[in-house]
Structure 1
Amino acid sequence: MLELALRKELQGIHFWATLYVLFVLMGSLWHVLRVRTWPSTEGQLLQIGIRPLGTPDLQTNQQDYVPAALYKYQVNGNYYEGHDISVWKMSASGMLKNVAYFLPKQVQVDAFGKVIVHYNPKCPRKSLLLRPGWASIIFLCLLMMITAGFYIWRW
């Protein structure tokens, strides 16, 4: 396959591109599986919603928005602030701006602003408000099967 890719033949290029995509998807799956084992603690939600990403495009007046949160929590007597909601990163702009509210709406907050914070036990400053579920695992596995299946079907 390396020889085919060096000769710029489509099958060789497709093979190495497929291998790369599978490697990235396996890394994502490994990360999701690790995050599912993170311990959790109670935290205080300070802010949640969406925020602008970068600077607006002055040519089109389009602005990208991303889900944003601010919360504080305590692990082993140390206080931390977190910003991440999920392992999934997303942005939206224009008419789809409201799609960016999808992740913030998934966070369960009690009447006192308390939330469950999932944190990395080896590095407690890394945290999330939403633990990845089975849907994330199934989605990544399906993407891997589709990627490999497309290569096998094509060649």
Structure 2
Amino acid sequence: MYLYEIFQKALAGDHQALFFCIAAYGCLACAVSVVLQLRMQRWKAVDGQLLQAGAVKVGHENLATEQHYMAEALYVYQVAGREYRGSKVSSWVMSASGSLRGVSLLQLKGIKHKADGSIVVYHHPDKPEKSMLIRPGRFSILLTAGLGTLPVVLYLLRYTG
């Protein structure tokens, strides 16, 4: 009942209720992300071959400053004798505007290259078609947890004094 009342107040424009809803949503979204990232840390590693990597344009903007770029890769790997293709670089999907295109390429530096020319591919243990090249680390998990906690802390500081 309390959450329903808060939601109704937020719809009516009450600042505190709106802030509460935003803080709760942000906290919940980041908590789910932390759980998923913790699961991804346990994904199996296999060797793969990088076919292509670079920054791709996202969107249909005509002005160079309005264009956005994302890191993208195409790779192949085998699990239990079956070949799979993947394109996901990381659990963190980042885009950069046209003038900062190079920033999206920095994410590709996290790909682990082996001496024999292969790369490390991480795949879901039960669903090997789900894969990525950069497994979430402690820093990204802590950052996500911090981002989820920040709106709650700001809410508490503002409204509970």
TM-score, normalization: structure 1? 0.91
Q: What aligned pairs does 1:3-42 form with structure 2 within 5 A after superposition?
A: 3-7=5-9, 8=12, 9-42=14-47
Aligned length: 153
Is 2:48 aligned against 1:46?
no
Structure having the higher helix fraction is 2
Structure having the higher strand fraction is 1
One-letter code aligned to 2:51: L
SS at match of 1:80: strand
Asked whether the 8 Å contact 1:5–1:11 carries over to 2, the reply is: no
1:82 offset after TM fit, Å? 0.7
Asked whether the 8 Å contact 2:29–2:148 carries over to 1, the reply is: no
Separation in 1, partners of 2:121, 2:29: 26
Q: What aligned pairs does 1:62-77 form with structure 2 within 5 A after superposition?
A: 62-77=66-81
Q: Which residue of 2 aligns with 1:140?
A: 144
Is 2:108 aligned against 1:87?
no
Separation in 2, partners of 1:4, 1:123: 40
Give a deviation string over 1:59-107, Cα, whole Å, max 9, x none.
x234221101111000111100110111000111221111011111221
Separation in 1, partners of 2:16, 2:89: 40
Asked whether the 8 Å contact 1:80–1:125 carries over to 2, the reply is: yes
Q: Which residue of 1 aligns with 2:106?
A: 102
- Flag as ranges the 4+ runs of structure 1 deviating above 4 A: none
1:144 offset after TM fit, Å? 2.3
Quote the RMSD (CA, aligned, Å).
1.5
Asked whether the 8 Å contact 2:28–2:148 carries over to 1, the reply is: no
One-letter code aligned to 1:145: T
One-letter code aligned to 2:135: R
Separation in 2, partners of 1:40, 1:85: 14
Name stretches of at least 5 consecutive residues in structure 2 with no aligned partner.
none
Q: Equivalent pairs: percent with the same residue?
A: 34
One-letter code aligned to 1:100: S
Q: Which residue of 1 aligns with 2:134?
A: 130
1:12 offset after TM fit, Å? 1.6
1:49 offset after TM fit, Å? 1.5
Separation in 2, partners of 1:123, 1:15: 37
Separation in 1, partners of 2:142, 2:79: 31
1:28 offset after TM fit, Å? 0.6
Asked whether the 8 Å contact 1:46–1:113 carries over to 2, the reply is: no
